[in-house]
């Protein structure tokens, strides 16, 4: 059975980027235009409904005005156009309006006559008793007789010449006079002889340092390349972060070489212009870096 050959593939035409951009831009513009048209349609519908509602209210108001009597409408229009006096307006109203019969106002009824109160069948009358009469008897004050004693007589005789003062003023006591005794004679101090004093010791002037003094700590390794490297001291059991685990290689400073930590190398590097140093985590790596600096001639004691 013969088999059909597959159809040849369609030739692939590469799309132009400019044509693709124009196509995408046209689609975007069509979508924007569609959105704007829909918004305008919604706005027109809202305005139409609002105008219809306003027209309905105006027609309702006009219909209510048309229901009023013609003479009242004419009177209102006349009063709006030509202002007149109250007498003229009342005359016009009386002429234009039909006669209205006004009934007489009814007379108010007279108040009822007062009715006498009817006594309660079981009322109890309480007789008013007169106030009791008190005889006016004069009362004379009586004082018990007091017998004067000898102590009272002596007290009266004591206070007769100098009666006591129950509100005395402040009383100040004068200090007793001090005896006037001559002060002991104190001789005047002798003048001091400046030559008799011990001369002040003379000290040598302090040397002036360009940098603060430092402790002379020797490096662990500072020999030429290929020399024996001493073993570093054992690390402490408990160390802070970065302490005892970083060796400092000083290439330029007061002393050069490999130091055990930053505390040992600080005095040879701090405040030294042009110092060069670096920290390493491995002792052998720090020594190798120092040997390389020696070979290239970068080691310098400042």
Residue 244 sits in which domain range? Answer: 217-301
Q: Is the pLDDT of residue 274 over 70?
A: yes
Among 29, 44, 67, the domain-final residue is: 67
- C-alpha–C-alpha distance, residues 51 and 59, integer Å: 12
- Between 79 and 246, the more confident residue is 246
Q: Does residue 73 lie within any of the structural domains?
A: no
pLDDT category at 97 given cuts 50, 70, 90 is low
User: Is residue 76 a part of any domain in this protein?
Assistant: no
Among 11, 34, 67, the domain-final residue is 67
In a domain? residue 237: yes
Which residues partner with 252 through β-bridges? 276, 300
Task: Write down which residue in 67, 85, 106 finishes a domain.
Answer: 67
Domain total of the chain: 2
Contact 290, 225 (CB under 8 A): no
Is position 137 within any domain? no
Q: What is the mean pLDDT of residues 69-79?
A: 52
pLDDT band of 28, cuts 50, 70, 90: very high
- Is there a domain that residue 266 lies in? yes
122 within some domain: no
In the chain, DSSP assigns E strands to 247-253, 257-259, 276-280, 300-301
Q: How confident is the model at residue 73, as a pLDDT? A: 54
This prediction's pTM: 0.30
Give yes or no for residue 236 having a pLDDT over 90: no
> Quick one: CA torsion of 134, 137, 140, 141, rounded to 10 degrees?
-10
């Amino acid at each position: 059975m013969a088999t059909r050959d597959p159809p040849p593939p369609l030739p692939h035409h590469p799309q132009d980027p400019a044509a693709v951009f124009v196509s995408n831009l046209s689609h975007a513009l069509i979508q924007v235009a569609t959105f704007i048209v829909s918004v305008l349609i919604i706005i027109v519908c809202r305005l139409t409904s609002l105008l219809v509602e306003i027209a309905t209210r105006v027609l309702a108001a006009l219909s209510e005005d048309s229901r009023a009597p013609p003479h009242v409408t004419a009177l209102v229009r006349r009063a709006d156009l030509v202002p007149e006096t109250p007498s003229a307006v009342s005359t016009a109203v009386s002429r234009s309006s039909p006669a209205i019969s006004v009934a007489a106002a009814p007379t108010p009824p007279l108040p009822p006559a007062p009715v006498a109160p009817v006594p309660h069948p079981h009322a109890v009358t309480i007789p008013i008793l007169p106030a009791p009469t008190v005889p006016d008897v004069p009362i004379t004050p009586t004082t018990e007789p007091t017998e004067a004693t000898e102590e009272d007589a002596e007290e009266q005789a004591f206070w007769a010449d100098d009666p006591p003062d129950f509100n005395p003023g402040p009383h100040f006591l004068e200090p007793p006079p001090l005896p006037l005794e001559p002060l002991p004679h104190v001789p005047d101090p002798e003048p001091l002889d400046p030559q008799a004093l011990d001369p002040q010791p003379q000290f040598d002037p302090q040397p002036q340092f360009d940098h603060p003094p430092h402790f002379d700590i020797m490096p662990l390794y500072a020999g030429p390349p290929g020399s024996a490297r001493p073993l570093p001291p054992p690390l402490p059991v408990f160390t802070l972060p970065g302490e005892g685990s970083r060796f400092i290689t000083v290439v330029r400073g007061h002393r050069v070489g490999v130091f055990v930590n930053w505390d040992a190398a600080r005095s040879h590097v701090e405040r030294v212009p042009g110092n060069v140093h670096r920290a390493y985590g491995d002792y052998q790596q720090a020594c190798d870096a120092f040997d390389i600096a020696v070979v290239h001639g970068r080691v310098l004691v400042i």
